[in-house]
Amino acid sequence: MKRSITFAVFSVLALVFPMAGQTSLVRGDVVVSAYDESPASLFSNLRVYGRDGVFKRELVGPDGRFFGEPLVRDGIVYFGAHIPNAIERVAADGTRLAPLTTEVANVNYLSPGPSGGILAVNNSGEIYLFAPDGTLLHFRDSTNLPNAEGGAALGRDGCTVFYAAAAALVRWNACTDSVAEFFTPRFGSASYALRVLNDGSFLVALLSDRGSVLHLDQVGSVIHEYPIPSPHAVALDIDGTSFWTNAGNLLLRIDIATGAVLSETFTPYQIYGISVAGEPRAGLAATQSVPAVSPLGLIGLALAIAILAAVALRMR
């Protein structure tokens, strides 16, 4: 009987140990969309960096399409791709999955959406709201003012969408499709990426001559301005006290309270968007689904099942 138990355990291990060898995203990993453009061609890629800023691997690429800001959720990386247009998906090990949808145009920014869906914003100021399975639930076209001019972010209530227009922040209830309204004063220039922190404050990358990232309170007053040349991306580190951004092709991690540069990594490509595995975005907290089981977790689960099965056989 002992031989039977041993055989059962090792049989299950033989099945599950190959899964442990798969490449995965570690909580805190930084996924960067970047591009390189020459007079003859354009290519984009997705690359993974550790919390220390050290390059780990290329996730997707090089690809002849332009990639927008990624979104990491439940072990899947979503990203908008241009021409042909789609919201693409890739597993943590680099396996390309079927697109979430192709019913989009030139999506640049992604955000968690209500009820576990996806919000997508393009470079024409339009906002798409998709269900988790890719079904289009709502389309806010360019005739709906004010238009989105940069990234969008879901609030902690799971319904309020924030975005920038005319150098100020706008809020719109995506659950009720309320009239979008400005709620902050102008902060100086149009924006790129946007994040809502769990305390309701905002981080926004600004398009301006000198470049900067702003930390704004809940009504748009400036808490801190971080002078960063050519920032385009913003993402929250898992510690909740620092954020990731870029200065052209430099990947930076910045302390929110002091503005101190915690890490600086040279990358060979122009950075467009950043997302973090386990990023503490307000919208992710509002729509958190059951986390996927990791390969090591599957090993533990399989071992438990094998042992229980062996014990059951022994008791017969």
Rounded CA-CA distance 253/246 in Å is: 8
Rounded CA-CA distance 215/102 in Å is: 34
User: Which tokens sit at 4?
Assistant: 């039977």
Q: Please provide residue 204's backbone torsions phi and psi, each rounded to the nearest 5 degrees.
A: -140, 135
For residue 29, give its domain range: 25-293
Is pLDDT at 312 greater than 80 in this prediction?
A: no
Rounded CA-CA distance 17/296 in Å is: 9
Is pLDDT at 8 greater than 60 in this prediction?
A: no
Give the predicted TM-score (pTM) of the model.
0.83
CATH number at residue 121: 2.120.10.30
Assigned domain for 249 exists:
yes
Assigned domain for 190 exists:
yes
Indicate the number of domains in the chain. 1
pLDDT in tens, 243-293: 999 999 999 999 999 999 999 999 999 999 999 999 999 988 766 543 444
pLDDT in tens, 17-54: 433 444 789 999 999 999 997 766 788 999 999 999 99
Asked if residue 303 lies in contact with residue 9, where contact means CB atoms within 8 angstroms, the answer is yes
Assigned domain for 19 exists:
no
- Determine the 3-state secondary structure of 224 from DSSP: strand
Assigned domain for 43 exists:
yes
Q: How does residue 210 score in pLDDT terms, banded at 50, 70 and 90?
A: confident
User: At 30, which amino acid appears?
Assistant: V
% of the chain with per-residue pLDDT over 90: 70
Distances (CA, A) of 165 to 158, 191, 192, 245, 295: 21, 8, 10, 21, 43
Assigned domain for 298 exists:
no
Q: What is the mean pLDDT of residues 230-249?
A: 96
Assigned domain for 299 exists:
no
Rounded CA-CA distance 104/116 in Å is: 19
Assigned domain for 315 exists:
no
Helix or strand holding residue 2 (H, E) = helix 2-20
Assigned domain for 66 exists:
yes
